[in-house]
Structures are given as structure tokens and as C-alpha cells.
């Protein structure tokens, strides 16, 4: 893997946190494979457009909230694991989760399997 787990996680969360649609699209193009897939207990998206629409929908559900990296990302081979919290600006986390991302040869995400961590916030 040429990209560190920390960098993968930072880019991933920056995309979710980006309020500007054009910049979000640029981050999506950079970080995700065209055929990328996302699934967690609450939502799923297929293809870069599907993932982008899913992120936009999730953002609109939690206006003013942001994702923050929790703990240290780790990884091996094509796989990266990282944990996050979701919180309103200046507020306590309302949810947390752990995502496992798989990357292609170019370091772009092909799959994310997400889980909610019940010991963080209200998830």
C-alpha cells in the first residue's frame, strides 16, 4: 500500500465533511474508484455517483455536524480500518463507528464496510 492508513482515513473523512458540492465531487473522484461500494447498517451506495448521493443525503440529515477520526487507523495489504465520531460543532459525539476500506491498485476505495460502535454517542 503506497498510501498510509492515516492518509486514507483523513481523506475519507474530509470528503464526508466537505460542505462545497464541487470540492466534495473532486475529493470523491480522487479517493473513490468509479465502481466503489459503501454499506453500513443505515445506508448504502454503489458507484461513485451513488456514494456521492448517499454522502449528500447523510450530510443533510445532520446539518452542522462533522466527522472526526477516533484512535489510530491501521491497515495491511489493500485494507484499512479506522474509527470515527459524529458530533455537532463544539458538541459531544452523537454517534461513532468503525469502517473497513479496501483499496485498488491506485489507492482508490473499492469497498467500505461500516459498523456502528454502540459505546460512542447514542449509536
Instruction: Find the helix or strand (DSSP H, E) in which 12 lies.
Output: helix 5-17
Could you tell me which stretch among 28-36, 58-66, 76-84, 86-94 binds a copy of itself (CB under 8 A)?
Answer: 76-84
H, E, C per residue of 36-49: EEEECCCCEEEHHH
Closest to a copy of itself by CB, 24 or 108: 108
Query: Pick from 9, 13, 32: which is nearest to 111 by CA?
Result: 32
Interaction with a copy of itself in 5-24: which residues (CB under 8 A)? none
> How far from the centroid of its chain's Cα atoms is residue 94's Cα?
16
Task: Measure the CA–CA gap between 112 and 119, rounded to whole angstroms.
Answer: 21
**Radius of gyration over every alpha carbon of the chain, rounded to an integer in angstroms:** 13
Q: How far is the CB of 17 from a copy of itself (least distance, A)?
A: 24
Mask 31-70, x = binds a copy of itself (CB under 8 A)? Answer: --------xxx--x--------------------------
Distance from C-alpha of 73 to C-alpha of 50, rounded to nearest angstrom: 25
- Out of 6, 11, 70, 79, point to the residue binding a copy of itself (CB under 8 A): 79
Smallest separation, CB 78 to a copy of itself (Å)? 8
Footprint of a copy of itself (CB under 8 A):
39-41, 44, 74, 76-77, 79, 81, 98, 100, 102, 113, 115-116
Amino acid at each position: 500500500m503506497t498510501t498510509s492508513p492515516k492518509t486514507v482515513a483523513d481523506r475519507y473523512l474530509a470528503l464526508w465533511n466537505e460542505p462545497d458540492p464541487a470540492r466534495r465531487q473532486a475529493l470523491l473522484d480522487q479517493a473513490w474508484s468509479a465502481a466503489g461500494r459503501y454499506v453500513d447498517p443505515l445506508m448504502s451506495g454503489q458507484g461513485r455517483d451513488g456514494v456521492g448521493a448517499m454522502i449528500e443525503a447523510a450530510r443533510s440529515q445532520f446539518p452542522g455536524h462533522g466527522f472526526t477520526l477516533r484512535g489510530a487507523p491501521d491497515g495491511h495489504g489493500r485494507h484499512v480500518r479506522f474509527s470515527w465520531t459524529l458530533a455537532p460543532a463544539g458538541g459531544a459525539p452523537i454517534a461513532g463507528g468503525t469502517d473497513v476500506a479496501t483499496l485498488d491498485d491506485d489507492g482508490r476505495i473499492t469497498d467500505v464496510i461500516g459498523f456502528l460502535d454502540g459505546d460512542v454517542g447514542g449509536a
